[in-house]
Structure formats: structure tokens, C-alpha cells
A and B are shown apart, each in its own frame.
Chain A
């Protein structure tokens, strides 16, 4: 079972470049999330989507955008990357909104911005 697939696994990027991190799930989950994980900090929510066609801002949305054209895909775009966006990015999904269900995470995308 694939679950959640993220791509690329890792990427080195020059500052100022545009980058899209891809996320696809095959569990038909309604809700999807993008987190970043930095050393010494908890996971921080960037953007989320409660259902296809809707998105919302999380704790640290600046410099990032998302779209949710369908249930399965939830790409994260950095329009003009900056070094502070160097991080590990995790995409996650859950089976409902406002629920108590667990999150299922992708394997992460390690992004380095130089």
C-alpha cells in the first residue's frame, strides 16, 4: 500500500528559485497537511486542506502556497526560495476534519536552500 508519496526525497536549491514539492495519497482522505520540521522545534503547520477545493493557512504560511484540485494531490510551492526555508517537509493526511483520527505522514522531503 503506497499511502502518501512525496517527491522529491531531497533537493538542493538556489535562493530565488521556484520549487514545488509534490504529495499524493491513495487513501481517499479528505484532509491533507504540509508541515515543516526543524531541529529543536515541533512540527509546524504550513498549510492545510480540509477537502478538495479548499485550503487554509497554518502557523507558518508565508512564502508558501498550496492547491487542492482533487482529493489525491496537495502540492506545496515555494515561489522564491530563501535559506530560512531549508527544512524537512512532511505531507500528511487524515480521514476527516475536526476529527480525532491519526495523521498519516509521507516520508518527507529534505530541502536545502543555498
Chain B
């Protein structure tokens, strides 16, 4: 079967750095997405990786290793507004998105 694994919950301190990991096993691979979802709101797109390596976008970076079936989302200079769930999703060989259950990130002052 196909599955996406990511930690259920993480806690970090305002101003610090946090890394949210995602491992996947899917039928084929056509890219990996990270979305942010604040409580009670819709998911919003953060990043897309299809090649190995690091993609940086401001305070957020996303890394991919296709050989290891592994990605992480790195958040720097954490702010209280970064408290949210972070969803990892992989596009399989049929271009269908397989979603992880999400990681709830709690930021403490």
C-alpha cells in the first residue's frame, strides 16, 4: 500500500528552528508537496519538490531525497503565527496526491 508518515505533533520555541520530517512509500513519484493548515482553515501551498535537494523560500525550506523516500520542512525564526498543521503529500505515478495525516506544530513563547 501507499503511505505517508510524519510526526503527529511537535513543539518548538518562538525564534528557534524546527524540522518536520516526512517519509513516504508510494507507487511512483511525481513530486512532493508541503501545505500549511491553520486550525479551522483551508490548507495553503508552501512548497513543491520533484528533484533531490533543498528548496528555500524565505523562512521556509523543503528538502527531498527520492532514494530515501524522505523529505523535511525546515522552519527558521519561528513566529507564533507558524502554529499550524503541516501536511506532506506525494503525487504518485497516476498523478494522484497521497496525503499524510499532518504534523501539528505548537509554538511556545
Chains A and B form a bound pair:
yes
Task: Give the total of B residues in contact with A, Cβ under 8 Å.
Answer: 24
Which A residues are CB-close (under 8 A) to B41?
Answer: 107-108
Q: How large is the interface on A (under 10, 10 to 19, 20 to 34, 35 or more residues)?
A: 10 to 19
Residue of B nearest to A4 (CB): B42
**A42 pairs with B48, CB closer than 8 A:** no
Tell me whether A100 and B48 are in contact in the complex, defined as CB-CB below 8 angstroms, given that A42-B101, A42-B102 are known contacts.
yes
Tell me whether A42 and B4 are in contact in the complex, defined as CB-CB below 8 angstroms, given that A90-B43, A98-B95, A100-B30 are known contacts.
yes
**B42 pairs with A90, CB closer than 8 A:** yes
A97 sits at the interface (CB 8 A): yes
- Name the distance in Å between A13's Cβ and chain B's nearest Cβ: 20
**A102 pairs with B42, CB closer than 8 A:** no
- Name the distance in Å between B104's Cβ and chain A's nearest Cβ: 11
Residue of A nearest to B3 (CB): A42
Residue of B nearest to A98 (CB): B95
Q: Which residues of B contact A (CB under 8 A)?
A: 4, 8, 30-31, 33, 35, 41-45, 48, 50, 87, 89, 91, 95-102
